[in-house]
Amino acid sequence: MTTISKVRYSRRSLLKSGGAAVAAAALPAPMVWGQETKNITLRQFGTGVSNLNDVATKVKEDLGFTLEMTALDSDSVTQRAATQPDSFDIADIEYWICKKVWPTGNLQAMDTSKIANYDKIVGIFRDGKLTPESTIAQGTAPHTVGFTSGVNDTDFVNEESGWMTLIPTIYNADTLGIRPDLIGRPISNWSELLNPEFKGKASILDISSIGIMDMAMVVESMGEYTYPDKGNMTKEEIDLTLGIFTEAKKNGQFRAFWKSFDESVNLMASGEVVIQSMWSPAITAVRSQGIPCVYQPLEEGYRSWGGGIGLSASLSGMELDAAYEYINWYLSGWVGGFLMRQGYYSAVPETSKDYMSADEWGFWFEGKEAQGDITNPFGQVMEKAGATRDGGSFYDRMGAVACWNAVMDENQYMVRKWNEFIAS
């Protein structure tokens, strides 16, 4: 698969044998390979959240090589990563997908010593703790599937082994989205999703591994059951959870289920639904149409998710070097700032700070009141002066995570039952 040309080989060996090793080390690799990198194309695929063409454009500008992006929904991403290892070089996937895909051996581990900002990556992705006092939330917490024992290994290890499965890039804390204008009273619990008051006006997402976690939050909040571990339910717990929701479905609680981002936006913006599971940028998309929509912080806490980039096992030679370069660039701040100005968090927040204005940093990260208009990277005004972020600062939001998106031991059973829930 490698495309290193003979010319480059000879130049490299010349440099080495010619005693110019010092010079070679002093020159950053991309300079030496300047012309060659231009011909490299890395194929990245992943969910829509971070597969943005702006990133590809900037990569071309800063690093010189071409990044081809393909955006798919979570299920298709899993499917592709698990079944078509040669169709991609870089997989931009979520940690729960990683738990499913990693054992197939389609991805290779990354050497953390080659990651310049590794030490600055937030604790959540390393030892699992946001701050030393934090407790680790239930579910597939990123650090539990973040490390493996060696480059070609397919296991997960608990300690920071020096080999990362995914380099964390983007994450957020999710909660319910509401239409405050149509609800007209404060909402502070997950249980409101099944409140008969919103009969025919509620929605939940039809992606089993995420939806089941939202359901678990609701069931616990209703006081029906307290799970020992929401992220790893037993068959009985799965039956119980889906039983409660099947009954609600039969009673006409739900207007629709959604699977893609734009469906959730349309449901909310058209007023078909007033309360539903939602993703942060979908809230923004509704609000930018001039329709009030709140990403409501709830007492029970957030359901969180994290994504990262993994390398295809077939990546080698110059492409592999380029991929490392891309990862280092990813963590160096520009992308972080780009994502944080849309309401996500970057794995290395401190590097992103340089790419955001003080006001933006204050609003998005510190939960402070906006001093002027807050615009997203595309120039749209997201919030006016005086607004504060729903849920507050980074530490308020990420510190209140109750569970992570998860894949359970009984996943197959859950999937079948989920299928029945949708079909019933």
Partner 1 sequence: MRNHSIIGWLLATPLTLVLLVFLVAPILMIVTVSFWGATEWSIYPAFQFDNYEFLLGSNVTYRVFFNTFKYALITWAFTLLIGFTVAYYLAFHIRSQTWQIALFLLCTIPFLTSNIIRMISWIPFLGRNGIANSTLMSMGVIDEPLEWLLFSDFSVILAFVHLYTLFMVVPIFNTMMRIDKSLIEAAADNGATGWQTQWHVIVPLTKPGIMIGTIFVVALVMGDFITVRFMSGSQSANVGRMIQNDIALLQYPSASATAVILLITVLLLIGTLLRFVDIRKEL
Given the rule CB under 8 A, which residues bind partner 1?
75-76, 78-79, 82-83, 100-101, 103-104, 200, 203, 206, 208, 249, 254-259, 266-267, 270-272, 407, 411-412, 415-416, 419-420, 422-424
Whose Cβ is closer to partner 1: residue 60's or residue 259's? 259
Instruction: Count CA within 13 A, CB hemisphere, residue 370.
Output: 18
Q: Cβ distance 151 to 113 under 8 Å? A: no
Tokens of 120: 């600055």
**Closest approach of Cβ 422 to partner 1, in Å?**
6
**Closest approach of Cβ 65 to partner 1, in Å?**
30
Whose Cβ is closer to partner 1: residue 255's or residue 353's? 255
Q: DSSP strand E in 225-364: where?
A: 254-258, 275-277, 294-296, 302-312, 345-346
Three-state SS at 418: helix
Whose Cβ is closer to partner 1: residue 243's or residue 399's? 243
Tokens of 129: 């703790």
Whose Cβ is closer to partner 1: residue 152's or residue 270's? 270
**Closest approach of Cβ 165 to partner 1, in Å?**
15
Whose Cβ is closer to partner 1: residue 128's or residue 211's? 211
Neighbours of 12 (CB within 10 A): 15
**Closest approach of Cβ 195 to partner 1, in Å?**
17
Whose Cβ is closer to partner 1: residue 80's or residue 389's? 80
Token pair 């990813």 is found at 330
**Closest approach of Cβ 248 to partner 1, in Å?**
12
What distances in angstroms separate CA 220 from CA 215, 216, 405, one per listed residue? Answer: 9, 6, 16
Dist CA 228 CA 409 (whole Å): 14
Token pair 């010319």 is found at 7
Whose Cβ is closer to partner 1: residue 172's or residue 411's? 411
**Closest approach of Cβ 232 to partner 1, in Å?**
14
Q: By C-alpha distance, which of 67, 127, 122 is closest to 352?
A: 122
Three-state SS at 177: strand
**Closest approach of Cβ 43 to partner 1, in Å?**
20
**Closest approach of Cβ 276 to partner 1, in Å?**
11
Whose Cβ is closer to partner 1: residue 218's or residue 402's? 218
- Long-range pairs for 240-243: beta carbons < 8 A, 24 or more residues apart: 241/212, 241/215, 241/216, 242/212, 242/215, 242/417, 242/418, 242/420, 242/421
Counts of helices then strands in the chain (DSSP H, E): 18, 18
Tokens of 114: 């080659």
Dist CA 184 CA 189 (whole Å): 15
Whose Cβ is closer to partner 1: residue 129's or residue 199's? 199
**Closest approach of Cβ 312 to partner 1, in Å?**
15
Dist CA 315 CA 243 (whole Å): 45
